[in-house]
Amino acid sequence: SLVCLTEHVPEETLEREDGWRAFRVAGTLEFSLIGILSRISDVLAEAGVGIFAVSTYQTDYILIKENQLEKGLDALRKAGYMID
């Protein structure tokens, strides 16, 4: 799998899905912090918002389809998450 801007998709790609918006979980997440991505995905699942998650060594990225972005961000705000 390759996650990139649409204009950077290689020509020889067999399949792709456009229309995702991404946001980053702020700060560096140490491995001792457990359940952060799980809690975020639970809030979004309860709101009926599907996600694609990418975890890196330092943080997590959540991708939401553009047509569900506001619904997802509203659910996160209501759950107490700060969105910049």
**Domain regions of the chain by residue span:** 6-78
Q: In sequence order, what are the beta bridge partners of 24?
A: 61
| Predicted TM-score (pTM) above 0.85 | no
| CATH 3.30.2130.10 correct for 6-78 | yes
Sequence-ordered alpha helix ranges (H) in the chain = 36-46, 69-78
pLDDT tens for 6-23 read 899 999 999 989 999 998
Cα gap 12→77, rounded to integer Å: 40
Tens-binned pLDDT, residue by residue, of the chain (84 aa): 888 888 999 999 999 899 999 988 876 555 556 677 888 899 999 999 999 999 887 788 899 999 999 999 999 999 988 887
